[in-house]
Structure 1
């Protein structure tokens, strides 16, 4: 048995990576891979002395459950990262002495006894002006710290820890505990491979990098948010908004984006968020004051769609059982087909008298979670952002899919869509997954769905791939006027 975690999920080339390992073997080794078009082995170490360590007990005394809130505090092992390692996403695999598992490959990336980390360049922006942000805060919120043969179920969603008298008050999650690779394997790996396969170099950062470094985005022209990007700090959001005002571009190839505000604590090795998750059979505190969109004091009072253009409260989700389950496969109904976003796709919007085409038709593009904007329709049936929910009125809807049926009960969404227990009563437009963009200094594009990088990365739809190329080609460089 062997498992481990990293002291931090990003490191600059030439500096040290810290790993924390627990094993019942006398010695263990580490295998390192770089994730690109393929999974490339880059280094291997062995002969490290092993020792077995237990997780901290749950502070509520929950039998058989470890704490998701405490640093697991396993002994550190510091390793230098060679200066010649290319910027990118890397995997470390923990291997017990005497065991010789087959090398990891991209097709079998998900699993225990491995973790991912970002290697950042010594000179930011030197290889690419495109920065790919890995949503590590969201990863840790969902991380159950399971291992083979043991479901620990310790996360923000399973047996969470709530601090009623904390400053800040809320559910607490530590970034220093094991979990293996799940979200990276599903959302990021196929898209990172697609980027490299199609000749788009990118540099990488984590949520924590963006939170800590106010100058991080100054070296880049385009920020990518990919997959499931639910948890954001005030500093992250403020820097993203300032980046756009100063002419930087953002592509949200993600959904459920910026849904909860988080507060990093413990020298940025944990975070707290006042959410609406159960503790036992109770909601410890409602309303959940770290939800971005509700007005203060019931929430933050800064609707996420004022940045992204879209919101989860106007979208929906599908059950994770039987994934992708009952998702619609009609794709996005195309609007404004003459827009540069659709160049080279051949897609039509019905303005010629025919039926409008659908982007991603036949694929599970809409889901696993999706975001939308409140909208009205004109006499031709074209959807326009109304702006009544906080979406910029200049947001141009380029694709839309109305979500039906809608299930309101959070605990009964297995065969439908769920969209939060509260919603502005004045907004009457049907909920719809929404793709579009606006410009306010720089340009912000929102795909409106978590699974855009999967459909694109696996080349499931030629139109989705071409739109992604158009985005990268157009937004990967600031315009001359900026």
Structure 2
């Protein structure tokens, strides 16, 4: 296999998938020197700068890093890759990590929590002891479903009772400086104003692990015998959560959730955290919260997820959809071969007999929940055009009627479909109407929607991928979007 092919797969986000039009990686806080083992065998984390603080008698000497910077593991050589066999966990529970290391050597795990932290974007919470890495067996494949459920347990992290709930990232680093990542969620049942739902079901739908030109498969793609990428007709119909994420180990679009988290924690919003599978499995009660926030691309929904959200809305819990193309495909979640619930996801798409699994084609269009629905891809970023600028959402943003917010319609877009039923509502308004050109050169438009359900719940849909990055992603922040989002959340949280 040539080096050109290997390089092609290192990113974890091949061009076939919905690309991130925002340039910045999902974790801009990962910077600085590689984690490595010093001469005394101690782990020195990547953020320590040996030059910034000259050693004193009380501070240990930090030797120079062994390489110029971290090297990203890939799915061809699998220098270090891993996953957790647990879903979201509560303080007092344990996270089980299954990790392969090739060649076998010692490695360490730095655990970070995503947040504001003075602008850093994350804080290191703990570091594992030095761990012995082994080469785990190759992934098992059956009908294009790839699973690593047979990997040995590498490390069990007991979550202390005092840890904050939130979105976490485990950064895996080998002794020779290769790095990979594993995201996980710490949740709790305590009440909060807002429940943030991380779209792990959609993350897995796009996961092509292993991106090796042979065995990897997602709900979008698989490979043929010659290493060519095949489309949806030959893709997997069932994918497993028991495997690493492709490339560097972070899901496609994970940054959209992290953008929202950094912004919301900076301004002190009272957040609880859960995964989409928690919503599916009944592990969270949405009616305990004033609002549910869906911060990123959230395309794949089970019947249980949708029913739970509809009941929450009917009970007065507001819904905030900060991306686009939400609730598009219907999926089923099932147990792993060993019986662990919700470790396999099936979405037949248009393969084989039976009905389509598009919600809108089984007479349950997503617009009935969201207020708008998916319209199509946006090949190049376009401006969002403000509409109804006198509405309270745009208050104190400085936005005037017809103003353009550059680049805010990007990735994918939603709009109102006049022939599709609307949800029951007391009032409803469109807050943006933005023309853009699709891949075929046809003129289309994006819309941003807000309605009030009979229960009093507010349901907001941004209708674009670019809303969350505009909250806190370097190079994409827009103060009008920040203030509009604050206006919305303050009203939902009943802040003065």
TM-score past 0.5 threshold = yes
Instruction: Indicate which of 357, 364, 389 corresponds to 1:290.
Output: 357
- Residue 135 of structure 1 and its aligned partner are, at CA, apart by 0.5
1:338 pairs with 2:390: yes
Deviations 1:27-64 (A, max 9, x none): 3321111111122111011233322123335435xxxx
- Residue 455 of structure 1 and its aligned partner are, at CA, apart by 1.4
1:391 pairs with 2:422: yes
| Distance change in 2, residues 1:452/1:287 (3 Å) | farther
Aligned CA RMSD, in angstroms, stands at 2.5
Partner of 1:30: 109
Per mean C-alpha deviation after superposition, the further-off stretch among 388-397 and 237-246 is 388-397
Partner of 2:129: 46
Distance 1:398 1:50 in 2: 53
Partner of 2:219: 156
Distance 2:363 2:150 in 1: 37
SS in 1 for 2:128: strand
Instruction: Indicate which of 373, 383, 401 corresponds to 1:311.
Output: 373
Partner of 1:457: 472
Partner of 2:434: 401
Partner of 2:451: 438
1:21 pairs with 2:99: yes
Instruction: Indicate which of 150, 159, 181 corresponds to 1:81.
Output: 159
Deviations 1:430-450 (A, max 9, x none): 842111111111110111112
Partner of 1:108: none
Unaligned 5+ residue runs, structure 1? 61-66, 102-111, 162-169, 277-283, 295-299, 320-325, 350-355, 375-385, 407-412, 418-429
Distance 1:72 1:399 in 2: 46
SS in 1 for 2:238: strand
Structure 1 contact 129–222 (Cα < 8 Å) conserved: yes
Per mean C-alpha deviation after superposition, the further-off stretch among 389-398 and 463-472 is 389-398
SS in 2 for 1:327: strand
- Residue 220 of structure 1 and its aligned partner are, at CA, apart by 0.9
Partner of 2:331: 262
Partner of 2:41: none
SS in 1 for 2:469: helix
SS in 2 for 1:11: coil
Structure 2 contact 110–128 (Cα < 8 Å) conserved: yes
Instruction: Indicate which of 188, 194, 198 corresponds to 1:130.
Output: 194
Deviations 1:180-204 (A, max 9, x none): 1143553122221111222223121
Structure 2 contact 101–136 (Cα < 8 Å) conserved: yes
1:116 pairs with 2:183: yes
Instruction: Indicate which of 437, 452, 463 corresponds to 1:448.
Output: 463
Distance 2:261 2:441 in 1: 30
Partner of 2:403: 357
Distance 1:7 1:204 in 2: 19
Partner of 1:271: 345
- TM-score of the aligned structures, taking structure 2 as reference length: 0.73
Unaligned 5+ residue runs, structure 2? 1-78, 225-235, 336-340
SS in 2 for 1:402: strand
Partner of 2:35: none
Distance 1:55 1:431 in 2: 46
Structure 2 contact 253–297 (Cα < 8 Å) conserved: no
Distance 1:218 1:304 in 2: 21
- Residue 257 of structure 1 and its aligned partner are, at CA, apart by 0.1
Distance 1:476 1:56 in 2: 46
Distance 2:92 2:441 in 1: 49
Distance 1:462 1:357 in 2: 14
SS in 2 for 1:93: strand
Partner of 1:425: none
| Distance change in 2, residues 1:91/1:416 (3 Å) | farther
Distance 2:126 2:270 in 1: 22
- Residue 216 of structure 1 and its aligned partner are, at CA, apart by 2.0
1:371 pairs with 2:371: no
Structure 1 stretches of 4+ with a deviation exceeding 6 A read none
- TM-score of the aligned structures, taking structure 1 as reference length: 0.75
Structure 1 contact 247–478 (Cα < 8 Å) conserved: no
Structure 1 contact 228–256 (Cα < 8 Å) conserved: yes
Distance 1:285 1:431 in 2: 32
- Residue 473 of structure 1 and its aligned partner are, at CA, apart by 0.4
Instruction: Indicate which of 108, 126, 143 corresponds to 2:207.
Output: 143
SS in 2 for 1:435: strand
SS in 2 for 1:91: strand
SS in 1 for 2:433: strand
1:195 pairs with 2:264: yes
